[in-house]
Structure 1
Amino acid sequence: MTSMARNLALIIKKANPDETVSVAVMEYALAIIFNYLFIFFTSLIIGYFTDSLGLTILALFVFTIIRMLSGGVHIKSIWGCIIVSVLLCVLIPQISYVTSNNFTLLFNIISLLCMFFFAPSPDKNSRIDSKYFKHLKLASIIMIGSNFFINSAVIALCFLAQSITILPFRREGK
């Protein structure tokens, strides 16, 4: 993934050396894009073959939005991130089939409490001004609150998984 991003960044830089950012910046941005695309398409393919494509798309969408709003820890390895993300997005729909309404309600409550107390939890590279944190927290809470009406096990499991990533476990550098 990183080598693909580096090669493409070098090609772009060579094609237009004066009007492009550094190779390192392009490589970083392209690696993020490739990472997301690989997670997205791998999850879709697995979702298709497990007859849960719609729920996999829902999991991808919900997990992406709540993660953007609430932050959370990151896995250092690109491949580790890809594996965990794909596993979450394809296993959540499968687990949702055996999740009762009582568990959906419990997962919503746990997620809501986590977001209330700990969101947002931006990483050290975040460029979001802290004055917007209360808005991100509110948006996270509203999003989770909506599932009390929707009552989707897939959505509740996505929220629960994301809520775990914002808990204040010991992080490197803290």
Structure 2
Amino acid sequence: MQKGKKASWMEIFQGLGKTFMLPVALLAFMGLFLGIGSSFSSSSTIDVFPFLGASWLQVVFRFMSTIGGFAFSYLPVMFAMAIPLGLARKEKGVAAFSGFVGYVVMHLSINFYLQETNQLATADQLREAGQEIVFGIQTLSMGVLGGIIAGLIVYKLHTRFYHFQLPDSFAFFSGARFVPIITSLTLAVVG
């Protein structure tokens, strides 16, 4: 994109597609870890290859499964961070940080609503109620779409406010520091 020109829709979608590559690349690599760890720690594999039953090997394989599962469990937050990181032209670190802040605040807001309306499901009925636990917060199950929505909102807020100046008495909160603040406020309402 050329400096000073507004991005066309095609450029935005191309940039968005490129931002998806960061979490997807990690997902592919962690999928290998998860697959190797899970398959070599299964009882049927150990029955065929008894040497794989060695306790130290099983610890390694279970560790690989645990680490490999990370990318699948936290894929929505990775999108919430990767989209503003990849699309932002300046202050990319602030954009990614704001993506995380916005994603968590959105889920806190949803949790608050569910509590206030007595809609929190019990632990054994989470799935049936369309709810899940995200970072210890009981919330609606939005999956990757929730991360993408949060990421796009944060990107727009970042683009609009990373250079925003407040009056001198609040100057400390100006510029890049204002982005996570406005993100918190906006995604609290969106949630």
TM-score by length of 2: 0.41
More strand by share: 2
Which is bigger in relative contact order (C-alpha 8 A, separation at least 6)? 1
TM-score by length of 1: 0.44
Larger radius of gyration: 2
